[in-house]
Structure 1
Amino acid sequence: MSAKVDLYDSAYGNYELDVYRQVRLETYGEDLGQTSWVTTEESNEIPKLLELTPASHVLEIGCGSGRYALRVAARVGCRITGVDVNSHGIRNANQLASQAGSSVARFEDCDVSHPLPFENGSFDAMFSNDVLCHIPGRAAVLAEIYRVLKPGGRLLYSDALVIGGLLSHEEIATRSSIGYYAFVPPGENERLLREAGFRLMNATDTSTPAAEIAERWREARERAKDTLIAAEGLANFEGLQRFLACVHTLTSEKRLLRLVYLARKEA
């Protein structure tokens, strides 16, 4: 079985180091503090798909460093609340919000496997990039999202662990080496959304660009190998390289699919 590997503490704990900035730039083409499989094109579409306006109040589950949430707030003019369980990510997010002088973005340390600390109908929209797969009890999480959304509110989330083919025990262990993951069969997200009360609007397969991100990420880290080893240690560096290679293989071969789900809470 693959040894456990740290991605998020090293990514957010070392967020401001130049080497991590350079890796993000080489991986995504821009630096928004990313640790997901979201392309720039996809991130630019999210506000449109959610139909955000300056009057919107948006919830992001798994905001990480907060930089993407701050971009959305600045571009749209909406209010945004970001939550994450990683304290390093929330610290970075609040620092960035303070530096930007943002009065419309706030970030909270929150474990969304528990009931959300918000009133019913608090938000016009919610999004989550490659995060719900980390959270136990997806049915309960979706029920909570439904509760805090206003009638007519939209939900967008991605899941990079939809099973599309045969997976070995070793591949599952390597793909899961960075923490808890829930692998789901085709149709499971659709069923869970329906049972939570949502109407599914679209499910888009983004496996190919996700596989390309994994390969660029691995290659960018390899070019910065010595500096990254000094920051995160040899064992963790090698573990993350194996993880990224596994993501690329499984996703490019469509044995694991990444799907983006857009749904609506009916009025």
Structure 2
Amino acid sequence: MAATSRLQHALRTREQVWGGWVVGPTETAPEEFAAAGYDYVGFDVQHGYLSDADVARMLRRLERVPIATVVRLPGADAAPIGRVLDAGADGVIIAMVESAEQAAAAVAATVYPPAGVRSFGPLRADLGLDPGELASRVSVFAMVETAAGLAAIDDICAVPGLTGIYVGPADLAISMGHPPVGALSQPQIRDAIVDVAGRATAAGLVAGIHAGAGGAGNMMAQAGFHMVTLASESQALRRGITAHLDEARGDTSRPDAGSPKGYR
């Protein structure tokens, strides 16, 4: 029987899958996301201040915590992808995918030969030693966040073994000539993003997006996205500590520090 990860279970059984985001080494933030009811937590090795060792340590800490995990990596290099999967990540998000070839390379990095190029070396006993089961539990997302990626979206969606398309609004906005902050408020960007969701869903893939905040997340869920990442631990901390300070001062006039920005 094929192994099923927590992320796969959530994606198959829940109408909406909500995620938190971690950009720095922390022992408590992923557990707080889990306690709040988030379905998954993403670890950012592309833009965050996280090493492979940081990710492995946090994944181990979450072994008995009811939350799924995914790691964003800057490219389809097989070695770093293999390391986070050997440490127990449920899935990977590969940034800046602009072609079917790049998406196929990402998939190949999660599968053992002869079908792929992943090297065998699981680090956790609870994952088992069966190559087929180790590969079957992995979800692979191609992050589409450039105009070139948009142009190749149908070819990317047709890559066998891909789990989903994950949209990055900030870089997409920049590549289309718009500022990254407030990307989701730009009609051209929003239309392109909604089109990606429709094409991914039509191809039988999961449509995911980095919304960046609750309000933007709600908007993206209504636009057809199934997997939606909300605030990072730093954004959540900023919003919470600002609210506590405002309450203590009796000040309700300050703008919400956690307002939707729709970037990253």
TM-score range, shorter chain: 0.3 to 0.5
For normalisation by structure 1, the TM-score amounts to 0.34
Higher relative contact order (CA 8 A, sep 6+): 1
For normalisation by structure 2, the TM-score amounts to 0.34
